[in-house]
A and B are shown apart, each in its own frame.
Chain A
Amino acid sequence: MDVVFLSRLQFAAATMFHFLFVPLTLGLSVMMAYMETMYVRTGDKTYLSMTKFWGKLFLINFAVGVVTGITLEFQFGTNWSRYSEFVGDIFGSLLAIEASTSFFLESTLLGVWIFGWKKLSGKAHAIVMWLVAFAGTLSSIWILLANGWMQHPVGYVMRNGRAELESFWTVVTNPFGILEFFHTVSGAYVLSAFFVMGISAWHLLKNQHVDFFTRSFKIALVFGLASSLFVAAIGDTHGVHVAKVQPVKLAAMESHWETTTRAPLHVFAVPDEKNERNLVEFGSIPGILSFLGYHDFNAEVKGLRDFPANERPPVLLTFISFRVMVGLGTLFIFLTVYGMFRRNRLLESRNYLRIMLFAIPLPYIAIELGWVLAEVGRQPWIVYGLMRTSDAASPIAGFQVLFSLIGFIVVYGLLGALGFYLIFKNAKKGPEQASD
């Protein structure tokens, strides 16, 4: 009945579940806005059909995303009250700004978009979707600045037993948060692109609505290629910053135990945390880890052994998450580049289409593992270097958390199953005849 452990499980479950739906909201809204703009510009009804078809899937997804997000804002207070008291001055402000600048815009305008087809001009209606997409991205900035502050606290002064704001500008220009923003949002765009491509591939394999889904595929392809390249590039920059401000996370990411220069990357490794070494190290390429962390093959990379044991994150989870995420990220680049070569011969590229269909879940896995890396990798800290996770939970009874954890698993499990069922069902149905 350990309250900290149960609260961690609950928060992880709630956030990871929420994040099954958020990325698609971010990326699909952009693609939909583009499709609707093309309709307004060209009058081509297929673009209208596309907006409405992908819109239907978007709305099912959005509904689950929005309701699962509300719980998170409350959960800082319910389960992490000590943390909330400690960081409210800064962290709370960022959340309040997120709500007032972005959530209002997104939710209000989405309602207008859904029901306003007949009430607004074509142009105005399309602008509304651009604003919805913008609002989603804007909200990401604020929440990632908040997480960025947890990872790399800046702009604060310790006073009255808590972290108090000293410089708002420093908080909102925190490189950790900014890099997280660009990396997460482009990752979300990759996920959305693969979602559209995968579903389009399914229909193209059946030779259904060929023009409709070829167009959808191509739009998503360009979106996905640009995003895959960008997310990798930003990921590299982000990694260099992590090396600077969270060196133990870098060490854990690559299960690097001994401090060395020209630190190697092991193609395959099995960490042995208890004995502070790797059980297996296979295919070691010297200097690569130094390069990843410092853009210098000769740089010294501190090993896990040189950090106090009680300041190291769980190595296995951090290590695996990083590997799989990067491996998948590389795959996404290959798949989208290949797609560019095949884009005018999609119907004949049946193996490629099959791969893209089965690739739909892959960005979901990558993006969730990215979060596991970010959050597990910062342990034992809840505010890096300032507050330990074990000191942050609410002073409440363990059984309360157990009950709510079970509640979350049951309710979210049901919602997730129903949500994905409805998305699959409507994705397979395909577009209806577009009406004006």
Chain B
Amino acid sequence: MDVLQTTWFFIWGLLWAVYFMTDGFDMGVGVLLPFLGKSDTDRRLMINSIGPLWDGNEVWLITAGGVTFAAFPKVYAVMFSSLYAPLLLILFALIIRGVSFEFRSKVESVAWRNFWDACIFIGSIVPAILFGVAFANIFQGLPMDETGYRGSLVYLLNPYGVLGGILFLMLFLVHGALWLSIRVSGPLHDRSMSAVEKLWFGLLAVAVVFLIATWFSTPLYANYLSHPALFTVPLICVVSLLAVKLFIVKKDAFKAWLASALTIVSAVFFCIIGLFPNMLPSNMDAAYSLTAHNASASQLSLSVMLVVVLLFIPLVIGYQLWAYHLFSDKLGAHDLLEEEAY
């Protein structure tokens, strides 16, 4: 049972990692929309660069949430009801983002398009920041006792929480700008590469601060100190982050994006490994912490779900890779003339 619960803890972590690796660049592009998209054509190119993929990417969130419910129902119940306000804000933002893509080009009006562009921006920046805030607070521990969470939305916006939000935002901005660079050419491409060069320095600075702050604000390093071999994970994260810079300098957007993807995944795993076995730690009393061992589903349920996941997740990755393969080529203005283009 212990092994099963531990396995599920890491599957849970993996799902979040893949979600941030995929929808992360969607959110990044959405936030960059008003900054890099100087014309309607530019903005349409940006939207179409993620158009075929964003919905499939977002399903990783639904799966991560669903798995939290299935494998760790008590964590799901306490986390979601405790983080009521930020979760609902994230949800409303995602709702608005989702329809914006479809509605935006349906009416020939500048005001209409500007409205939906604003919605894409808000629908991208709000979840990016709030996911970071939420997870940083989880790493830090929440004021929780046996009746649940005793804090508020404002409490979550403490310095470490805000830092988490900024970190996620920077990660997604770099990731999004690189994806955009892969998919477009010309002035938009150049603007994107130029932006990512500057953003990378911002990300580096925030990452360093985050790594240091994590030492002081959270118990995350404890697992690493007792099992030093685990330091490979944050090492991979640092190396990939540096590799991003290297590939940017070499003007290889694709390899830079791959390095950025690895940075995000390894960053999530750095945090998840540090969190283990806690899932919703209490900073009031460790006895109230929800862990992979005291908050999981039954053995049978975990076993059945494991079979399902081992069968289907590789399949999903397979056909999603196929979709990515279809839609990682260069977009041109002529593509916007197709009737299905966003």
| Contact in complex: B92, A92 (CB < 8 Å) | no
Interface range for A = 35 or more
List B65-87 residues whose CB lies under 8 Å from chain A.
65-74, 76-81, 84-85, 87
- Chain A, Cβ-Cβ closest to B106: A422
List A43-63 residues whose CB lies under 8 Å from chain B.
52, 59-60, 62-63
| Contact in complex: A74, B87 (CB < 8 Å) | yes
- Does A88 lie at the interface of the complex (its beta carbon under 8 Å from any beta carbon of B)? yes
Q: A63-B101, A77-B65, A107-B58 are in contact. List 9 more A-B contacts (CB 8 A).
A: A60-B106, A78-B84, A93-B301, A96-B308, A98-B66, A104-B63, A108-B316, A112-B327, A115-B48
| Contact in complex: A432, B301 (CB < 8 Å) | no
- Chain B, Cβ-Cβ closest to A162: B73
Complex partner residue of A70 from B48, B56, B91, CB under 8 angstroms: B91
| Contact in complex: B74, A411 (CB < 8 Å) | no
- Chain A, Cβ-Cβ closest to B341: A115
Binds B, one of A226-234, A236-244, A392-400: A392-400
Beyond A70-B95, A96-B66, A100-B309, whether A111 also contacts B323 by CB under 8 A is yes
| Contact in complex: A115, B65 (CB < 8 Å) | no
A165→B307 CA distance, assembly (Å): 15
Beyond A66-B55, A107-B56, A432-B339, whether A407 also contacts B88 by CB under 8 A is yes
- Does B102 lie at the interface of the complex (its beta carbon under 8 Å from any beta carbon of A)? yes
18 contacts between A and B (CB under 8 A): A60-B102, A63-B103, A66-B98, A67-B94, A70-B61, A77-B65, A81-B80, A84-B80, A88-B73, A96-B63, A96-B66, A96-B70, A99-B62, A100-B308, A107-B59, A112-B323, A118-B338, A400-B85
- Chain A, Cβ-Cβ closest to B53: A111
A166→B76 CA distance, assembly (Å): 21
Complex partner residue of A63 from B63, B68, B102, B339, CB under 8 angstroms: B102
- Does B242 lie at the interface of the complex (its beta carbon under 8 Å from any beta carbon of A)? no
- Chain B, Cβ-Cβ closest to A434: B339
How many contacts between A and B, using CB within 8 angstroms? 220
Complex partner residue of A100 from B51, B52, B54, B313, CB under 8 angstroms: B313
Q: Which residues of A contact B98 (CB under 8 A)?
A: 63, 66-67, 70
Tell me the count of chain B residues lying within 8 A, CB to CB, of chain A.
Answer: 66
4 closest residue pairs by CB, A with B: A88-B73, A77-B80, A92-B69, A108-B56
| Chain B contacts to A: CB under 8 angstroms | 48, 51-56, 58-59, 61-63, 65-74, 76-81, 84-85, 87-88, 91-92, 94-96, 98-99, 101-103, 106-107, 147-148, 297-298, 300-301, 304-305, 308-309, 312-313, 316, 319-320, 323, 326-327, 338-341
| Contact in complex: A115, B298 (CB < 8 Å) | no
Beyond A85-B73, A88-B70, A117-B338, whether A71 also contacts B52 by CB under 8 A is no
A394→B94 CA distance, assembly (Å): 23
- Does A355 lie at the interface of the complex (its beta carbon under 8 Å from any beta carbon of B)? no
A93→B300 CA distance, assembly (Å): 11
- Does A97 lie at the interface of the complex (its beta carbon under 8 Å from any beta carbon of B)? yes
